[in-house]
Structure 1
């Protein structure tokens, strides 16, 4: 199966976005994919804001993008756009870092007023980076994600069903995307 890079663009260690992605990672793993999690907030701030494309952490992130067949990108929505830490990382990647990749954009937010942020803010950037196929994204309201005291995640039933369908469509698209041969 495919290798999926699962990128959390949340700046918070306790974010619903990050927990949601790790939850969806389990579904993709159960479908036979190799999932590599990447939390952008764990990258050194000085490298992200420097910007230092030669910093080992940034070079490693670029390598993870290069190795992936598909990329799951999740971000909280702030002021009708994706997070600044995600923007900083995307700016440091090579211009066509998503060439040949299938991409699933996901977002979380407090209001349905931000539901179009995926299509108007994030999708154009992903497209400009050469994504072969950007599947239908999904916006999840914060109120539909509950994190238990033990860290467990529970989704509202309709949200769980919709996200399951979106992730399954991504999984199918990964199977149809040709894997580009690595340069040598």
Structure 2
């Protein structure tokens, strides 16, 4: 079975980033893909900050990335860049850990003012980790995601279309 790991770099579960995460995981599961989700903020903070490579939870998260054919890096925009939370985890991955994997960056921002953050901030870091099969990615703004009463999220048609297109490319590239 094909495996994809989603590395989510938000700072809480109850956010619009979760809307993208839910949509992505649901789409992949319908395509019979095994999905692993790493919510970086739920990993032990001391292990992340001190780069404790021997921490059991860190080792398990790294192993999920290692064993996946595809990796999705999902981050909100903070200070015109990707989140520091995602960076702390990416720093714990071996230097060429994304080699021979299809990598899909997905980002959530407050406006289109930071649209290029994916190309100028996140993608160079992913390339440094060995990502050579990197997809264009999708950038979604906060106003394209609505939180529902049942704690789920609804993506607007445009963002759904763009994310779906990238997810199909991810599946073709693996």
- The two structures have a TM-score, normalised by structure 2, of 0.96
Give the aligned partner of residue 112 of structure 2.
112
Q: How does 1:1-184 map to 2 (within 5 A)?
A: 1-174=1-174
What SS does the corresponding residue of 1:131 show, helix, strand or coil?
coil
Deviation at 1:7, TM superposition (A): 1.2
What SS does the corresponding residue of 1:100 show, helix, strand or coil?
coil
Which contiguous aligned blocks of 4+ residues in structure 1 show a shift greater than 6 angstroms? none
Deviation at 1:91, TM superposition (A): 0.6
In structure 1, the gaps of 5 or more residues are 175-184
Deviation at 1:149, TM superposition (A): 2.0
Deviation at 1:73, TM superposition (A): 1.0
CA distance in 2: counterparts of 1:82 and 1:102, whole angstroms: 19
| TM-superposition CA deviations, 1:15-52 (whole Å, max 9, x none) | 21133112211101111211111111110100000121
Deviation at 1:57, TM superposition (A): 1.1
| TM-superposition CA deviations, 1:127-168 (whole Å, max 9, x none) | 111113001111000000011121121111122112111111
| Two-structure CA RMSD over aligned residues (Å) | 1.1
Equivalent pairs counted in the alignment come to 174
CA distance in 2: counterparts of 1:109 and 1:141, whole angstroms: 5
CA distance in 2: counterparts of 1:21 and 1:13, whole angstroms: 10
Query: Do the aligned partners of 2:10 and 2:76 also contact (CA within 8 Å) in 1?
Result: yes
Give the aligned partner of residue 181 of structure 1.
none
| TM-superposition CA deviations, 1:90-123 (whole Å, max 9, x none) | 1111111111111000000101111111111110
What SS does the corresponding residue of 2:35 show, helix, strand or coil?
strand
In structure 2, the gaps of 5 or more residues are none
